Structure 1
């Protein structure tokens, strides 16, 4: 069971006509929103973004902290409203072995479940899909990408990949404080698949998912923040 602190920090985000997922983190004493670059690619300082809150779209003014370098599909924002819900069990992780169980969380095709939080505030609850970290590779620039064996849909973009390594506590039961965010959902690779009518191949094709979702390491987002703090 994923702790409620994760659900409380994952948001459906709207920018222009694009809807995706974003999640809040705290780094070096400040709050940030992390999402995929292709969800907010044209964003600039003072642009309006919206998050789903209290069964309506809440308008926020954004500050662009930065995009991931070298084509990384990651963007970090700050907004003029505190959306971060602090919790001792909510954290990011930089290291994860292949084969680790994980969860992709977000709002596929815009779907959401709106439930009241512990404070009685209605938040859209992100949907989850369970997968495994099927592979880890570097792109041509050396940026770490997790290949997550899970079926993806539009709307998950920008959401977190969460792992639970399965470390056991003193009682022998799985500890709930060792969940962690390892990556940001970027995109899904697709390949053209031929379409047939009977035995005849038509001049059309469909794009078929490979069954893996690409997720950039959460370090990519932290690097964006660290660079902005040095500026």
Structure 2
């Protein structure tokens, strides 16, 4: 089940920007089990467990976790019975980076962690297919066979459109950092969710799924003036803004350094 589309090469002189044959991203229930719905003091959103150095860390958007401190409880809403788990330690991204990494106490995973979400910090290629997962608009679909009747994340697919240098909206500093722009129509509630992509494993000749970014926000159309609109929502341009997963890896390394005696 492979859909392949041959992308063009955009040439400037003798230079070319690489594109690729992009594939369906084969997400399994074992992978999606790592994506959960959370509630913090700032509201509800999405988070996911990422494996690094044989440990699992909860990754989410900083605008959801910015009020969370070590010792606070995080409510995980995706199980038959809501579960509170203590944030033993937390590392927020810099002022300009909308990402937080949390180390939870007393792991409560009610599933087999046989297919951990592994970060891939390599650069995406233009036109590469990506998938986001999360719990938008308060929706909680359930599938008894695949998910044991606990809420299952919704997924949306698109392509990697490019990378821009921008500052996080709401940051005190206007320092600019890399952000991925995805041609995926985002909705409220996907914030903090993973962005998945695939790579070919040359040793096993299989398709591996990696987390490459975290959903941060959607990009608003800019107001042009003129007649007043009757809409009570900001216009969604259709672009999802995502934070490269390397920022989460940096935060995890800081946590591990702090925990060393």
Q: Shorter-chain-normalised TM-score: which range?
A: 0.7 to 0.9
**Aligned length, in residue pairs:** 222
Partner of 1:41: 66
Gaps of 5+ in 1: none
Partner of 2:40: 15
Partner of 1:98: 126
> Cα 1:117–1:34, aligned 2, differ >3 Å: closer, same or farther?
farther
Partner of 1:159: 193
Partner of 2:86: 61
Q: How many Å separate the matches in 2 of 1:117 and 1:42?
A: 36
Q: Pick from 174, 178, 181: which aligns with 2:211?
A: 181
Gaps of 5+ in 2: 1-25, 168-174
CA shift for structure 1 position 49: 1.0
Aligned Cα RMSD in Å? 2.8
Q: Deviations over 1:36-60 (max 9, x none)?
A: 0111221111111111243332111
Q: Give the TM-score taking structure 2 as reference length.
A: 0.75
| Contact 2:69/2:90, CA 8 A, preserved across alignment | no
Partner of 2:113: 86
Q: How many Å separate the matches in 1 of 2:203 and 2:89?
A: 43
Q: Which moved more, 1:153-162 or 1:70-79?
A: 70-79
Question: Could you say which structure has the higher strand fraction?
Answer: 1
Counterpart check, 1:146 vs 2:180:
yes
| Contact 1:183/1:217, CA 8 A, preserved across alignment | yes
Q: Deviations over 1:177-198 (max 9, x none)?
A: x1110001001121355798xx
Q: How many Å separate the matches in 1 of 2:128 and 2:112?
A: 26
| Contact 2:119/2:210, CA 8 A, preserved across alignment | yes
CA shift for structure 1 position 88: 4.8
Q: Deviations over 1:9-61 (max 9, x none)?
A: 00001113611000001211222100001112211111111112433321111
Q: Which moved more, 1:64-73 or 1:135-144?
A: 135-144
Q: Deviations over 1:193-227 (max 9, x none)?
A: 5798xxxx237665211211110011101100101
Q: Give the TM-score taking structure 1 as reference length.
A: 0.84
> Cα 1:16–1:89, aligned 2, differ >3 Å: closer, same or farther?
closer
| Contact 1:53/1:122, CA 8 A, preserved across alignment | no
Q: Deviations over 1:48-80 (max 9, x none)?
A: 111124333211111342111242000011222
> Cα 1:113–1:66, aligned 2, differ >3 Å: closer, same or farther?
same
| Contact 1:162/1:179, CA 8 A, preserved across alignment | yes
